[in-house]
Every structure is written in C-alpha cells, then in structure tokens.
Amino acid sequence: MSIQQTLVIVKPDGLIKGLVGQILYDIQSNGLTVVDCAYAYLNHNLVEELYSKEKEEVYFREVVDWVSSTCVFLLKVQGEDAVKKIKWHIIGRYPNGIRGQYADNWIKNVAHAPDSETSAEREIDLLNSIFKKRKDMDNTLFNGKKVFALTGMSECGKSTVGKYLDSRGVPRLKIVRLFERIRDKQSPGEELYQFIKKEERNNPYVLWDAFIEELIDEMNIRKVNRVSIESLYGGGLGPYLKKRMCGHFCIVYIDIPLKIRLKRQMQREKLLTLKEAEKILLPRDKIKEKSGIPALKEIAEEVIDNSDTLDVLYRLIDEMLQRHSV
C-alpha cells in the first residue's frame, strides 16, 4: 500500500442534502485525513477539464452545467490507498457507498472522486490554485494574531492557566460563549448541545468557519492580538482550527497525573479518601476520553506539566508566551 492524495468534490446536491458530515466521518473511519478544503465556484471551462475523460458521454454537458451551477466543496484527502478507498468504498460505485444511498441520477449523484492515482494527481493540480487562494486569504485574516486553545482532562488546571494568561494580557474566552452567539444568530432558542451536534452532523466546516468568524470578530472588538479559548473539546474542531489557522493557533494541553488530580480534588472538596475523589473525577474522565480529549495531546504544540507548584506552572506559561510572541 502507498500513501496517496486524492480529491472529493461535494456537488451542489451533496451540500443541499447535508452530506459533508457523513463523508468526513467515512473518510476518518477509513484511516484517511483531510489535508485541505475549500468552498469554490468552478467555472465551465474548469469543470470541462475535470471531466475531460468523459467528454464523449451523453451526460457530459449536463454534468458540467450542474457542477458549475453553484458552490461546491473541495476536499483534498491523504492516506494509504486513498484513491481506491475514496472512489470505490466511500463515494462508491452504485449501489454502494454514499452515491448508492443518496444519488438522484447520474448527474445529481452527491460527489465526484478520481478513479486512479494519475487522475487524482491531474485533478488536484487543476484545483491547487483554489486551495492556495484560500490559504492566502487566511494568512491575511489571521495576520499578527495568536490563539491559545486550552485543553486537558478533568481538574487539570485549565481555568488556572486561563486566568493567569488573562493577567498577562491574553484575554480568556469561553468556547461555549462563541458557539452560543452562532446559535443565537442561526437557531435562537435551540438547546446548544443539540444545535452543535446537528450542525456538525450536516456540515461541520460551516459551523467551525462561523466559530472562527466569531473568534476573530471578538479579537478585533477587544483590539487584542492574542487570546486563549477554553476549553477545547475533542473531535474535529481542534484539528480543523490547527489546519486552517496554522501557526496562528496553538493547542495547549495541560498535563497532570491522575493521582495528583485526585489528591487536589480531595483538598478542594475536603474529601477524606481517594475513593470519594474517584467517584467524582473518574466518570468525568470517561466523558473526556470518549470525546477525544487525550488525542489532542498528540497534536498539541504545547504540553504543560501542572504537577508542581503554581509558581512553576506560571513560569512554564511565561516561557510559552515568549515562544509564541506575535
């Protein structure tokens, strides 16, 4: 098996049906990674070039008209045997895959993917300028800014770190408050967890891009170049922010052994035994583990050891700020 890159174009009907979330889930379930993405309007000439191998087919003109009629979503995907997995297992040959489940016909068939490694290379080359344009726009949007995303297991000290960063001129923002603003604009009155779950199931990138807009707006309103956001949950948000914001985004994982967390829990709650502390802490840890918090440690730019004194912790945070000065 070889590491390959390939392409997924979610067609207008795939976007209308809210299938981006399912496509992303299938990509991840097959051990593949999205390395780039962009919304785009593809003009007739570009779509004709993409489908040039099918120029003699009776449906050629109709599919070109459909794919170029409105916005599509581009995903560049990488992994072992990515071309085969995407084309034949995820997008699928009828009646299998997502096409088999959701296609209306040969034209409105949800998504396109190249059928060979050579085709994948050619199509990615055709669309690379779109991915580059998106990155250039993001570099301008995030220029001079730095976001520290605080995460870790239960009672690891995220709030302590956030408060200290605030005292050092790095305002502390709550992730949940930013999502509440999005909810209030799009679906006021809906329970927040259900709103986030629904939006991430349909098309998480739309929700996460709205999150970035709220975040940058808040930074501009406050006239600050650095903020912390707390608390970063597991799943796709952190990796997406890391990928889109690049060096302007820093995952900070607050690390502390379970035994120390239990002892601190005992002191805080005035408990008499570790068993009492375990009853409080371990169920919360299971929720964190299920949501993917430990996986964020693997991609964190900073892992801060909070097993010593507050003075040591503050020194580590100061050193981190020096490393990430803007």
Identity of residue 29:
S
The 10 Å Cβ neighbour count of residue 269 is 12
User: Is residue 298 packed enough to be buried (19+ CB in 10 Å), middle (13-18) or exposed (0-12)?
Assistant: exposed
- Residue 71's closest CA among 51, 90, 43? 43
Which residue in 22, 143, 121, 32 sits closest to 73, CA to CA?
Answer: 22
Catalytic residues: 112
Distance, CA of 244 to CA of 266 (rounded, Å): 40
What is residue 226's three-state secondary structure?
strand
Structure tokens at 180: 């509440």
What are the helix (H) ranges across the chain?
12-16, 20-29, 44-50, 60-67, 82-84, 97-102, 117-142, 158-167, 175-186, 192-202, 204-222, 237-245, 258-269, 274-291, 293-299, 310-323
Which of 87, 23, 92 lies closest to 236, judged by CA?
Answer: 23
